[in-house]
A and B are shown apart, each in its own frame.
Chain A
Amino acid sequence: MQNTDNILNDIVLEVSNIAISYGNKKVVDNISFCLKKGEISCLIGESGVGKTTVLRSIAGFEPITSGNIKLNGNIISSPSKIVAPEMRKVAMVFQDYALLPHLNVEENISFGIRKMDTRKKQQRVQEMIELVKLNRLNRYYPHQLSGGQQQRIAIARALAPAPKLLLLDEPFSNLDPNLREEISIDIYDILTKSQTTTLLVTHSQKEAFALADNIGVMVDNFFQWDSAYKIYHEPETHKIGAFVGGGAFLPGRVNANNCVDLELGLNYQLTNNFPKDMLVDVLIRPNNIQHDPESLYKGVIKSSIFRGPSFLYTLLLVSGREVKCLLPSHLYYNIGDSIHISLKRMPLKAFPNIK
């Protein structure tokens, strides 16, 4: 029944409308999303918004108060029924890695595959060690290794039993920034190579955009689950738009053609429909703005971040509002310089004005 019914046979995880409460306080509400086999997805959001709680509910550590969670089509959590964490075959990598200090690398990695026969186990451990590039460190104890190496042991341990689903809780937060980028690329390789369905919690958008096929954003009690592209270009709420990707908003009034006049130009088309004369905030992404010596409009450089191939400038407009703008790095300005800019002619995302 289930199999014939389930045309989306390759859906591994299905979270439908779940809510989680601590006492009377709802920490998480109305969250739904699906993970397909082999997909890497991310939950992002401000800290304290309940991302880790969602992850823990999938692992079975938090009971849910409404909705349900299905793994391979079987309900594993609902308000009335909860499959114990140890029965789920969901692997989780914890923020602190939770390595066992009294076991060496090999023993830590084989921790999750105790039921395999000895030869297979050895083989699997060796595979994992090679996968995470910890060769020749088999006999070392965790305390003798660096943070990045410890991280990779934790991943190897989680992957060893070939879990249906891998959960990663802020996996890179204990690493220093330089290491962070390097390791996250490594881990991405490992995960894609091993075809592991993965859900990752992070507070770094950069990581999310770098790793994830789909992203779930949790901002201010609202949840949007979409491809990275859509999250960036078509956020569903004002706040998600503000949270993701460093956007800015410019106010305007909708005219008859569903267009809007803005401080940086007139008659811009909107992507979504609004009633005439409505006041809206229009989302301006850094890439919407270009350097344009011909333009009438100007902005004063308030701050700049060098990103190698490009600069991210924050510009102060005449009205006192700020927008961000990404310029090739040969266009170098000092703070206080005034530059000519224009807003690219392309449909823009807008939200009802909040005030």
Chain B
Amino acid sequence: MLNNYLLTVLNNYLSKAKVLSISLLIILPLSSIFSGIFDFQADNLSHLISYILPDVILNTLILLIGVALGTLTIGVSLAYLTANYNFPGRDIFVWSLILPLAIPAYVFAFVFVYLFDFSGPIYSIIRNTFGSSDFLPKIRSTYGVIFTLSLAFYPYVYLLSKNAFSTQGSQTIEMAQTFGYSRMQIFWIVSIPMARPWILAGLMLVLMETLADFGAVYIFSYDTFTTAIYKSWISLFDFSSAVQLAAIMILFVFFIISTEHFLRKNKKYNMKNQSKHIIINLNGYKKWLASLACLCTLLIAFIVPLLQLSIWAFENILKNPGIDPRYLSFFLNSLAIGIFTTAIIIFLSLNLSSSRRLDKSLFTQTFVQISNLGYSIPGSVLAIGFFITIVMIENSLIYTLSLIGIEIDIVIRGSLLAMVLALSARFLVVAFHPINSAMERISKSQEEIGRSFGLTPRKIIWLVQIPIIKSSIISASLITFIEVIKEIPIVLIIRPFDWDTLSIRIFEMTSESMWEEASIPSLLIIIMSIIPLVFLVKKASKGK
């Protein structure tokens, strides 16, 4: 009996230690960049406060609100449509609407600015036909950035809320109908509130990505908080001020996450739900409207950029016949870090989410949140943090070994392991959110049944939780994989010599604004994202 008690206590500590060690992946790099936080130059800071920050804070808020509204509108409505109704082409739209995720936001931005700018092909044609294009909106504007980022990021909201809508069951909808609610009212007061954790999980990813984005907003010359961070670092040569600004941003994100968490403290979404999900056939003009909505989104958010990239790639190949044979190794390298990192991230997310369920202590809850902050920090800043951490570890290892008389140079930077761990820390939240939302729906009794059969918490993860949330794990793996193979700054700084990935190729091509040249690696990244997508979708539809 005493033994059992000790075991429980021990398990509790082990679980806390696990959460802590996962969060160290992000705490170490953060603290290493923040250690220089007081080393700033006062005149730079006062300059930023008087000339830069007021504008960029306003801009950032406008952008966040705009992109939130944009992605919610597109993502939630398309998710509701494809989850609940049948209409021509639905089977294809269901999965192809995720595809824009495969196009990096800055590639989106570049393609759109190219296509829709004053000097671009579309406006030129219109000018030649009508004599003027002044009546058309400007793409390089606040609306333009919001429009572009909304199209680039809506799949997060779409994917997660579709998951929620198609598992809600039809009974609640029917129940509300019997009380005289119209389908529209039901959408707002039943379906949306019930899908809230998923919708917000998607939205959180969108907001974090918007906040940390530098490439896309740079192309639009739209100054955000991240722009200010880079300005301090690159233009004012003041990394400390940059880090201070980054710290403010992280606090902001932490505040938002905690607020959300606090607001839904009392509510659970794990209602028993055995009712089957009924998909309603749309009739008449409605079904064509639904198809049109999906088609238009897909057209603008995926097919048009894809076509433009293909045209550039084609022109490139005509100009320089033959493709660089190194592309095979770039492809394989991307694939390798994609797969390894995704596997680690899923493993860590499951553990974190499961710990968070079992242990409601403030300690665990806080450190789980901290583990997820990596995504909200501008990539390059975080990359430096990782690099400093790695070098610190190397130095202390060398020092320790030298104390016992071993003189050896240890180089961890440039190792695949270090890179995969850093990427895992950055993208953990991408998988954690969907997995955690799904985990919240597993009812306590389902776990207790497991416990009553003598399963340990660890076995419960494998035998009870994973099978129940399988579909969420699949979509989480997919987004994670796509995110990882798109990533640039961390791979750039930690990679070994002569070890390039497709995303590094994009960096090389674009750093001198040679965007057209980046079309081939961009296309390869898109293809690489589509393959697992198609595979998983086929498998999922077979499973039904």
The reply to whether B269 and A96 contact each other, CB–CB distance below 8 Å, is no
Q: Is the CB of A141 within 8 A of B273?
A: no
Q: Inside 8 A of A161's CB, which chain B residues have their CB?
A: 179
Q: Specify which chain B residues have a CB less than 8 angstroms from the CB of A94 in the assembled complex.
A: 171, 174-175, 275
CB distance from B71 to the nearest CB of A (A): 22
Cβ 8 A contact of A86, one of B182, B193, B268, B274:
B182
Does A111 contact B194, Cβ atoms closer than 8 Å?
no
With contacts A102-B267, A141-B268 taken as known, whether A92 is within 8 angstroms of B178 at the C-beta atoms is yes
- Asked if B196 and A98 make an inter-chain contact with CB atoms under 8 angstroms apart, the answer reads no
User: With A and B bound together, what is the CA distance between A101 and B196 in angstroms?
Assistant: 11
Number of interface residues of A (CB under 8 A): 29
B12 at the interface (CB under 8 A from A): no
Give the distance to chain A from B243, nearest Cβ to Cβ, in Å: 40
Chain B residues with Cβ below 8 Å from A276 are none
Contacts of B174 in A (CB 8 A): 59, 61, 85, 92, 94, 98
With both beta carbons as reference points, the residue of chain A lying nearest to B275 in the complex is identified as A96
A61 to B178, CA, bound (A): 10
Tell me if B272 counts as interface (CB < 8 A to partner A): yes
Residue numbers in B under 8 Å from A60 (CB-CB): 177
Docked-complex contact A98 and B172, CB < 8 angstroms = yes
In the bound complex, CA of A98 to CA of B174 (Å): 9
Question: Which residues of the other chain, A, contact B269 by a CB distance below 8 angstroms?
Answer: 101-102
The 0/1 profile, CB within 8 Å of A marked 1, for residues 155-184 of chain B is 000000000000001011011111111100
Q: Is there an interface contact between B182 and A101, defined as CB atoms closer than 8 Å? A: no
Query: How far is it, in angstroms, between the C-alpha of A202 and the C-alpha of B174 when the chains are bound?
Result: 20
For B175, the chain A residues whose CB sits under 8 A away are: 92, 94, 98
CB-CB contacts below 8 Å: B264-280 with A? 266-275
Cβ of B190 under 8 Å from chain A: yes
Q: How far is the CB of B372 from chain A (nearest CB, A)?
A: 23
- Decide if A101 touches B171 in the complex (CB within 8 Å): no
CA distance in complex: A99, B176 (Å): 10
Q: How many A-B residue pairs have CB under 8 A?
A: 76
Tally of contact residues, B, Cβ under 8 A: 26
> A60-87 CB contact bits vs B (8 Å, 1 = yes)?
1100000000000000000000001111
| A340, CB-defined interface residue at 8 Å | no
Contact B267 A141 (CB under 8 A): yes
Quick one: which of A94, A102, A111, A158 has the most chain B CB within 10 A? A102
Chain A's closest residue to B177 (CB) is A85
Contacts of A174 in B (CB 8 A): 272
Residues in chain B near residue A100, CB distance under 8 A: 172, 190, 193-194
| A91 within 8 Å of B (CB atoms) | yes
The chain A residue with its CB closest to the CB of B190 is: A100
A85 touches B271 (CB 8 A): no
Report Cα–Cα, A118/B14, bound state, in Å: 52
CB distance from B201 to the nearest CB of A (A): 15
Residues of B near A142 (CB, < 8 A) are: 271
Q: Does A148 interact with chain B (Cβ within 8 Å)?
A: no
Residues of B close to A89: CB separation below 8 A: 180
In the assembled complex, the Cα of A59 lies from the Cα of B177 at a distance in Å of: 9
Contact (Cβ within 8 A) A86 B270: no
Contact assessment for A59 and B178 in the assembled complex, using a CB-CB cutoff below 8 Å = yes
A146 to B200, CA, bound (A): 28
Question: What are the residues of chain A within 8 A of B179 when measuring CB–CB?
Answer: 86, 91, 111-112, 161
State A85–B177 Cα separation when bound (angstroms): 6
Residue-wise interface mask of A (110-143) relative to B, using a CB-CB cutoff of 8 A (1 in contact, 0 not)? 0110000000000000000000000000000111
Instruction: List the 9 shortest-distance A-B pairs measured between CB atoms, nearest first.
Output: A112-B179, A98-B175, A85-B177, A143-B268, A98-B171, A101-B271, A94-B171, A102-B193, A98-B172
Binding site for A on B (CB under 8 A): 169, 171-172, 174-182, 190, 193-194, 196, 266-275
Supply 14 A–B pairs (Cβ within 8 Å), ascending by A. Answer: A86-B180, A90-B178, A98-B169, A98-B171, A98-B174, A100-B172, A102-B267, A102-B269, A111-B176, A111-B179, A112-B178, A141-B267, A143-B270, A158-B178
For the complex with contacts A101-B268, A141-B268, 5 further pairs of A-B residues with Cβ separation under 8 Å are A94-B174, A100-B193, A102-B269, A112-B180, A141-B266
